Copies of this chain bind each other. A is one copy, B any other.
Amino acid sequence: MQVEGLSINLATIREQCGFADAVDICLKHGITAIAPWRDQVAAIGLEEAARIVRSNGLTLTGLCRGGFFPAVDGAGREKAFDDNRRAIDEAAALGADCLVLVVGGLPGASKDIEAARGMVEEGIAAVLPHARAAGVPLAIEPLHPMYAADRACVNTLGQALDICEKLGPGVGVAIDVYHVWWDPDLASQIARAGEMKAILAHHICDWLVPTRDTLTDRGMMGDGVIDLKGIRRRIEAAGFRGAQEVEIFSADNWWKRPADEVIATCVERYRSSC
């Protein structure tokens, strides 16, 4: 029986299996939408990954990830452009709905977050023509402010949408509840994103209390404090019709369990808690 509206970001079972096995487990549980990471695609080869996607009629709710634009010098920034263009090509080859951008943080020993934000905007602008030509929407993923220094200096949905407005067609947002659930402006910014037709992806997991690690202690839906149903209602009211994509980094829990159990739990929680 197919599970409509659920996608599995393959990072959720990245410690347990590679691309092909992950797809098999998803299919076994009736899931036909996935979001792989570039290293997972590279490990099996882009061509073989694309073949598996096509032959199984899979939807790719995103390819993770491009971004990391800030760099200490022009050469570093050019290198990021090149890498992002390659990521765009891979997303196109896979037929992904979007390329997710984790935009990058402070380069080197910089304390100038405004400068980093400028580099992000320039970087997206630089690769946007390539993305448009390839037909691959770029999805800026605002990351939780605790990642502002080392992963992404775009930290609110409003900030991401400001960039989308400036850059025009071909750029939107990936809304991950983990990163934005706390935002006092969340409701209005989701509505704004809907009006802009900028919502490209909707990622889910949960915020655990306590959170023991800033990166790898994300929770299964229902195990934390995020109002998943409420946020989903807003995102759907804003016109988004894509799948909810489960993305859980969990070094001490879900990454240690059998992939089959993890995916079965995702399906169960998707039905009960999302």
Contact = CB atoms under 8 A, between A and B. Distances in A.
A112 B227 contact: yes
A112 B229 CA distance: 11
Contact of A225 (B111, B117, B158, B226): B111
Nearest to A206: B111
B113 A182 contact: yes
A149 B113 contact: no
In which size bucket is the chain A interface? 20 to 34
Contact of A211 (B112, B153, B159, B214): B214
A181 to B, nearest CB: 8
Given A155-B182, A159-B184, A182-B155, A146 B113 contact: no
A64 B230 CA distance: 35
A111 B208 CA distance: 12
A149 B225 contact: yes
Copies of this chain, how many? 2
Contacts of A155: 182-184
A226 B111 CA distance: 6
Contacts of A184: 117, 155-156, 158-159
A43 interface: no
B227 A111 contact: yes
A237 interface: no
A228 B2 CA distance: 54
A158 B159 CA distance: 14
Given A209-B150, A210-B150, A145 B227 contact: no
10 contacts: A106-B225, A113-B181, A145-B182, A146-B146, A148-B182, A149-B224, A150-B210, A155-B182, A155-B184, A210-B214
Interface of A: 106, 110-113, 117, 144-146, 148-150, 153, 155-156, 158-159, 181-184, 207, 209-211, 214, 224-227, 230
